[in-house]
């Protein structure tokens, strides 16, 4: 038996479900990637491409389903940071694993129609989330006040201070911005507040313009996803609860369990976004 035959037979072939956010990268021609980070429940791959998201998370069911994820129902192979992989032609080759994508899931499900009265009730529950990594930060305060006024220059100035601010794979400043961008776009559209959607578009352009050089590759990809309204199921569940006017507290508890401060930081961004949609909607 030749070495190449042994390699082919030793490979593990599985199927999985991928976020529609990573469909352009997965359906493009095969290209190299490298392992950015590896955990028992998830491996982050940086693909050599100009497309976004350029970082793909290959995860098991126990991991947080980020909007750039490919979900598989088996164990991940043992890999280390810097290992090579390939992505494209609807598949991922990682270590001995060949993962073929057969299904797609929506990382930006619409929350459903809502009104300002429901948003006002939700704002009292969202409040100022405990445990946020940047509580009391001047840039966060400027971001909140600027978005409530629809003042783009102030919002962009604050955002530029927040991109990449904080430690970890997803710094607190990025999580706040991600929660805000998704909320402005999703709930702004759901409540018919066009100024909120307008603000989301311009703020997203500013945040993603140089995110690749201002923060971690993983966080930069998540900001690109948030700019399009794409988020984890925990964030989407909070937005649905806000829009429906019920079930917000349990959805918030699930969100707060994400990461060390990521859940609280995302909740802070959502709270800022809800207040902004309310303020901009009330001044129509």
- CB of 166 closer than 8 Å to CB of 173: yes
- With a pLDDT cut of 70, the percent of the chain lying above it is 96
Q: Indicate if 87 and 123 belong to the same structural domain.
A: no
pLDDT band at 5 (very low <50, low <70, confident <90, very high): very low
pLDDT band at 222 (very low <50, low <70, confident <90, very high): very high
Residue 77 is assigned to a structural domain of this protein: yes
Q: Where are the alpha helices (DSSP H) in 55-95?
A: none
Q: Indicate if 121 and 262 belong to the same structural domain.
A: yes
Q: Which SS3 state, helix, strand or coil, does residue 111 take?
A: coil
Q: Indicate if 124 and 98 belong to the same structural domain.
A: no
Residue 111 is assigned to a structural domain of this protein: no
pLDDT band at 283 (very low <50, low <70, confident <90, very high): low
Give me the pLDDT at residue 204, please: 97
Q: What is the pLDDT of residues 57-66, one digit of tens each?
A: 999 999 999 9
Residue 110 is assigned to a structural domain of this protein: no
Give me the pLDDT at residue 11, please: 84
Report the DSSP beta bridge partners of residue 213.
Answer: none
Residue 176 is assigned to a structural domain of this protein: yes
Q: Indicate if 259 and 150 belong to the same structural domain.
A: yes
Number of Cβ within 10 Å of residue 50's Cβ equals: 6
Domain extent for 237: 116-282
Give me the pLDDT at residue 4, please: 46
Q: What is the pLDDT of residues 136-184, one digit of tens each?
A: 899 999 999 999 999 999 999 999 999 999 988 899 999 999 999 999 9
Residue 192 is assigned to a structural domain of this protein: yes
Q: Indicate if 100 and 55 belong to the same structural domain.
A: yes
Q: Indicate if 51 and 101 belong to the same structural domain.
A: yes
Residue 139 is assigned to a structural domain of this protein: yes
Residue 73 is assigned to a structural domain of this protein: yes
Q: Indicate if 274 and 198 belong to the same structural domain.
A: yes
Report the DSSP beta bridge partners of residue 189.
Answer: none
Sequence-separated (6 or more) residues with CB below 8 Å from residue 178: 222, 223, 225, 226, 231, 266, 269
Q: What is the pLDDT of residues 118-141, one digit of tens each?
A: 999 999 999 888 888 898 899 999
Rounded CA separation 27/16 (Å):
14
Give the residue from 105, 136, 158 where a domain finishes: 105
Higher pLDDT, residue 39 or 168: 39
- With a pLDDT cut of 90, the percent of the chain lying above it is 86
pLDDT band at 30 (very low <50, low <70, confident <90, very high): very high
Q: Indicate if 128 and 239 belong to the same structural domain.
A: yes
Give the residue from 83, 105, 127 where a domain finishes: 105
Rounded CA separation 265/172 (Å):
6
Sequence-separated (6 or more) residues with CB below 8 Å from residue 226: 67, 177, 178, 179, 181, 182, 204
Mean pLDDT to the nearest integer, 32-48: 96
pLDDT above 50 (res 261)? yes
* Number of helices (H), then strands (E), in the chain: 12, 8
Give me the pLDDT at residue 131, please: 86
Q: Indicate if 152 and 245 belong to the same structural domain.
A: yes
Give the residue from 105, 127, 148 where a domain finishes: 105
Give me the pLDDT at residue 6, please: 44
| Number of domains composing the chain | 2
Residue 226 is assigned to a structural domain of this protein: yes
Q: Indicate if 199 and 244 belong to the same structural domain.
A: yes
- CB of 45 closer than 8 Å to CB of 87: yes
- CB of 26 closer than 8 Å to CB of 90: yes
Q: Indicate if 194 and 221 belong to the same structural domain.
A: yes
Q: Indicate if 262 and 124 belong to the same structural domain.
A: yes
């Amino acid at each position: 038996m030749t070495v190449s035959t042994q390699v082919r037979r030793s490979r593990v072939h599985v199927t999985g479900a991928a976020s529609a956010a990573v469909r352009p990268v997965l359906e493009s021609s095969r290209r190299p990637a490298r392992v950015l980070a590896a955990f028992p429940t998830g491996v982050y791959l940086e693909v050599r491409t100009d497309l976004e998201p350029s970082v793909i998370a290959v995860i098991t069911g126990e991991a947080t389903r980020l909007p750039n994820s490919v979900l598989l129902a088996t164990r991940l192979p043992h890999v280390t940071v810097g290992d090579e992989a390939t992505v494209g032609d609807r598949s991922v080759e990682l270590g001995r694993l060949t993962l073929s994508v057969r299904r797609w899931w929506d990382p930006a499900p619409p929350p459903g129609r809502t009104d300002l009265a429901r948003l006002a009730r939700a704002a009292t529950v969202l409040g100022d989330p405990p445990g946020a990594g940047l509580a009391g930060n001047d840039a966060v305060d400027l971001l909140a006040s600027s978005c409530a006024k629809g003042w783009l220059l102030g919002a962009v100035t604050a955002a530029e201070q927040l991109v990449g601010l904080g430690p970890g794979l997803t710094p607190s400043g990025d999580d706040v911005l991600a929660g805000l961008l998704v909320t402005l776009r999703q709930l702004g559209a759901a409540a018919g507040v066009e100024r909120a959607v307008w603000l989301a578009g311009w703020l997203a352009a500013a945040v993603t313009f140089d995110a690749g050089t201002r923060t971690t590759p993983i966080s930069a990809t998540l900001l690109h996803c948030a700019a399009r309204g794409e988020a984890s199921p925990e964030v989407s569940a909070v937005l649905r609860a806000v829009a429906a006017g019920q079930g917000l507290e349990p959805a918030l508890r699930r969100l707060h369990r994400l990461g060390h401060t990521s859940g609280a930081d995302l909740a802070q961004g959502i709270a800022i976004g809800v207040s902004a949609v309310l303020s901009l909607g009330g001044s129509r």
